[in-house]
Amino acid sequence: MVNENLVKDVVKEPYKYGFVTDIETEKIDKGLNEDIIKLISQKKEEPKFLLDFRLKAFKKWQKMKEPDWAGLGYKKIDYQDIIYYSAPKQKEKISSLDEVDPKLLETFDKLGIPLTEQKKLTNVAVDAVFDSVSIATTFREELAEHGVIFCSISEAVKDHADLIEKYLGTVVPASDNYFAALNSAVFSDGSFVYIPKGVTCPMDLSSYFRINSGDSGQFERTLIIAEESSSVSYLEGCTAPMFDTNTLHAAVVELIALDDASIKYSTVQNWYAGDEEGIGGIFNFVTKRGKCLGKRSKISWSQVETGSAITWKYPSCLLLGEESVGEFYSVALTNNLQQADTGTKMIHIGPKTKSTIVSKGISAGNSKNSYRGLVKIGTKATGSRNYSQCDSMLIGDQASANTFPYIKSQQPNSEIEHEASTCRISEDQLFYLQSRGIEFEEAVSMMVSGFCRDVFNQLPMEFAAEADKLLALKLEGSVG
């Protein structure tokens, strides 16, 4: 028999990103109303179209009901008890990184995100978002040489208003769902990426989201546009301090790929998950969607979800262009009292579109981990194909693993294949590895890593190693 206690000890590894940065911040009053929205817009010196967009979204949000179909159990969120704008106080305009508050740079250093370019060894440009605002974006000049725009969305609103007006809300409309409407009304910052025609982005782009204050929500918005024959790989990481209150994170990510363009979007989500009793942690309600508008365009989502008390996230692909491709690779790990309801939506609209879904769920402790996905093949999607694979691994007899695939086909000349399985860490395999002199924990870690291999293979190099370590860390001691 596997030593249950040993496994439990391993999971108890503390959350190492849980520190709070003591920095003076500018916060507005709690609550949500039209005036607050106007104030946010005013602080960000936004053009009128954006304020109208926000107010319209707010009106829609007021008429909407918080969704409960995922069956997630969490205490009701008081939307009037949240600060919708919080920013570290700093000089008005930053022209170089030297002007960024050293405390902030220190914070990101501590998180392992190098912002000072001299120290950078890896070829990754970073946009660091702290609470409601973007602090710094690195490698901008190098990127600009190739015509790539990589900046915070607030800057993009000022400098590239035409692109924002043209594309914002076209993939995830303000009325899409409750949390998307909320985000559209109050979004504070996020990243904006524009890859011009024919350009392969010379380096990986990355944004790092950090929630620092306990009473403010984070509502960032990311917009990535890949013009014809361009390609980009984008990485996203998230952490938050440990508070015993729940913090709301409602983000929207919109991707647009035109003819022959390809976007790879990878996430390692490690928000604070709450303690063993389920106190504290981030409520992570995220709407991510990509539109393959052009012919032969490709959008690939890969995600490693290990944090958050509640995860409600379904990165989707709208496959409109002929022969466009959607991919979704996910590892979701839940422990203690975490709840994750995640999956994807692949909507095949154009002919000869293809999608692949590989989802791996690992549930330990008393957690609940559900895969919820939709594959829909419309009447015009002739010759389309989908392949889905959802595997769950259960660790301990208190965790639950659910699979809810919704499959709909209206096109006879198409093929859909779905398979799902549930298993546990096999004692035979553990015994085998241990008999070969491999430590128990290492053996578990190897098996989990093997279970997730299909997904890790899809992650960019920098993330794959991190994800592997993160998973091993999170799981330590949870095998019973």
Query: Is residue 11 within 8 Å of 477, Cβ to Cβ?
Result: yes
Q: How remote is the C-alpha of 45 from its chain's centroid?
A: 27
Q: Judged by CB, which is closer to another protein: 294, or 350?
A: 350
Q: Judged by CB, which is closer to another protein: 62, or 421?
A: 421
Rounded CA gap, 46 and 64, in Å? 26
Q: Name the segment binding another protein (CB under 8 A); options: 213-221, 281-289, 297-305, 393-401.
A: 393-401
Q: Judged by CB, which is closer to another protein: 70, or 156?
A: 70
Q: Identify the three-state secondary structure at position 245.
A: coil
Q: What residues contact residue 381 under an 8 Å CB cut-off, 6+ apart?
A: 319, 348, 349, 350, 351, 352, 353, 411, 414
Q: Name the segment binding another protein (CB under 8 A); options: 165-173, 186-194, 257-265, 404-412.
A: 404-412
Q: Judged by CB, which is closer to another protein: 248, or 393?
A: 393
- Please pick, from the candidates 379, 431, 453, 465, the single residue that binds another protein as defined by CB under 8 A: 379
Is 394 a residue that touches another protein (CB under 8 A)? Answer: yes
Q: Judged by CB, which is closer to another protein: 169, or 396?
A: 396
Q: Judged by CB, which is closer to another protein: 69, or 89?
A: 69
Rounded to 5 degrees, φ, ψ at 178 are -55, -50
What is the DSSP secondary-structure string of 174-194?
TTSSHHHHHHHHH----EEEE
Rounded CA gap, 459 and 235, in Å? 9
Q: Fill in the per-residue mask, 410 to 449: x = in contact with another protein (CB under 8 A), - = not in contact.
A: xxxxxxxxxxxxxxx-------------------------
Strand-pair partners of 339: 310, 368
CB of 398 to another protein, least distance (A): 7
Is 1 a residue that touches another protein (CB under 8 A)? Answer: no
- Please pick, from the candidates 16, 408, 453, 469, the single residue that binds another protein as defined by CB under 8 A: 408
Query: Is residue 476 within 8 Å of 9, Cβ to Cβ?
Result: yes
Cα three-residue angle 256-259-264, rounded to 5 degrees: 50
Is 340 a residue that touches another protein (CB under 8 A)? Answer: no
Q: Please state whether beta strands 345-348 and 246-257 pair in parallel, antiparallel, or not at all (unpaired).
A: unpaired
Q: Identify the three-state secondary structure at position 177.
A: coil
Is 3 a residue that touches another protein (CB under 8 A)? Answer: no
Placement of tokens 């208190």 in the chain? 398
Strand-pair partners of 371: 342, 403
Q: Judged by CB, which is closer to another protein: 173, or 383?
A: 383
Q: Judged by CB, which is closer to another protein: 79, or 387?
A: 387
CB of 418 to another protein, least distance (A): 4
Rounded CA gap, 272 and 229, in Å? 38
Q: Judged by CB, which is closer to another protein: 274, or 365?
A: 365
Of 269, 333, 267, 332, the C-alpha closest to 302 is 267
Q: Judged by CB, which is closer to another protein: 377, or 459?
A: 377
Q: Please state whether beta strands 124-130 and 204-210 pair in parallel, antiparallel, or not at all (unpaired).
A: parallel
CB of 130 to another protein, least distance (A): 40
Rounded CA gap, 63 and 50, in Å? 20
CB of 358 to another protein, least distance (A): 15
CB of 180 to another protein, least distance (A): 20
CB of 355 to another protein, least distance (A): 14
Rounded CA gap, 130 and 50, in Å? 22
- Please pick, from the candidates 183, 267, 316, 392, the single residue that binds another protein as defined by CB under 8 A: 392
CB of 85 to another protein, least distance (A): 36
Is 399 a residue that touches another protein (CB under 8 A)? Answer: yes
CB of 446 to another protein, least distance (A): 19
Q: Which residues would be at the binding site for another protein (CB under 8 A)?
A: 377, 379, 392, 394-424, 480
